[in-house]
Copies of this chain bind each other. A is one copy, B any other.
Amino acid sequence: MYYHDKRLQYPVKVTTPNPQFARMLQQAIGGVEGEIRVCMQYFFQAWGNRAPTTKYRDMLLHTATEEIGHIEMLATAVALNLETAPASAQEAGAADGIVGAVMGGGSAKASIEGLIHKNLLSAGLAAMPIDSDGVPFNMSHIYASGNAAADMYCNVAAESTGRVLATRLYNATDDQGMKDMLHFMIARDTMHQQQWLAAIEDMGGTEGLPIPNSFPQSQEHQEHNYDFFVTSLDGQYPEGRWTGGPTMDGRGEFTVFRNQPMGEEPVLGSARPDSAAQAEQIGEKPQTI
């Protein structure tokens, strides 16, 4: 179970509120590479973890719990950045009217608010669990496969795209408060990348490959399990680490195979009566009067 402290994990300050930047920050809350995702992903991986040891479960709980605090920091940052967004025609009228005049094509005063959409209209100038385009986060992005090694790669992927996003946000602002918050979050993403890679090593590294390593490789099609398949019409392909030399698991050699049909043209045959296909698909006459 869980406890809270009202103070933030790290300071969140905004020198110059910027409603547009609030919208960009939303990507780090409700984007597919955002903090709700990693928080819930680590929790579900922990809660469903089955293993002789509890150490992976335990580790995941520490980091999942940390991530709630990251959502909280970002939600605070969004709210602070929205502080100067006009909420009414009266307030907008006091701002520079030029944009409204040319953009709105009409009423100058309503135009700026339109740019922040749901954060004003649905949330009253606060953060929402949406991305930077206003699309709500969908929980299908919580990857927790029941295979701990697969999950760790999902986590490396999440923290890699997460740090990519955080540095883009860092680059996009020159507000010192925001830069400070983000440079802390970027550091935590660095650690979390390291942490999941460390867990992969802890589980045996390349011993863990191919994932799942509980399926006997003797039962997979061994003729093509280390082949790079070429699908270009002219048979050309880019040479690289993947077209020759020892495989990454050390159990084979990369080779190149020019893809071609090994199967036949599929035959599904006629549609069945009562399947509501057209009569021609069934091979009967139309059943109209």
Contacts and interface: CB of A to CB of B under 8 A. Distances in A.
Given A4-B2, A146-B277, A262-B9, A220 B183 contact: yes
Interface in A177-202: 183-184, 186-191, 193-195, 197-199, 201-202
Nearest to A19: B105
A60 to B, nearest CB: 10
A274 B98 CA distance: 22
Contact of A289 (B131, B135, B218): B218
Contact of A172 (B110, B201, B211): B110
Contact of A3 (B71, B133, B232, B242): B232
Contacts of A189: 210
Contacts of A165: 121-122, 276
Contacts of A87: 168, 171-172, 272, 274-276
Interface residues of A, number: 219
Copies in the complex: 6
A229 B172 CA distance: 28
A65 B230 CA distance: 9
Nearest to A218: B289
Given A213-B279, A224-B188, A47 B1 contact: no
Nearest to A133: B134
A44 B225 CA distance: 25
A274 B171 contact: yes
Contacts of A81: 106
A231 B83 CA distance: 30
A242 B200 CA distance: 10
A171 B88 contact: yes
Interface in A62-76: 62-66, 68-69, 71-73, 75-76
Contacts of A24: 110, 113-114, 117, 121
Interface string A1-42: 111111111111000111111011001001111001000100
Interface string A120-144: 1111111111111111111111111
Given A84-B105, A95-B102, A121-B132, 19 more contacts: A7-B264, A8-B265, A21-B104, A32-B122, A43-B68, A47-B75, A50-B277, A89-B171, A107-B174, A123-B145, A134-B134, A134-B135, A135-B136, A135-B140, A146-B275, A163-B215, A168-B276, A198-B241, A198-B248
The 9 closest A-B pairs by CB, nearest first: A124-B146, A133-B134, A48-B126, A8-B263, A7-B261, A18-B106, A88-B274, A1-B69, A88-B171
24 contacts: A1-B9, A1-B261, A7-B265, A8-B263, A8-B266, A9-B263, A44-B129, A48-B124, A48-B127, A51-B280, A58-B237, A59-B237, A59-B240, A89-B174, A110-B172, A124-B168, A143-B157, A147-B160, A154-B161, A163-B210, A164-B276, A167-B212, A187-B222, A194-B254
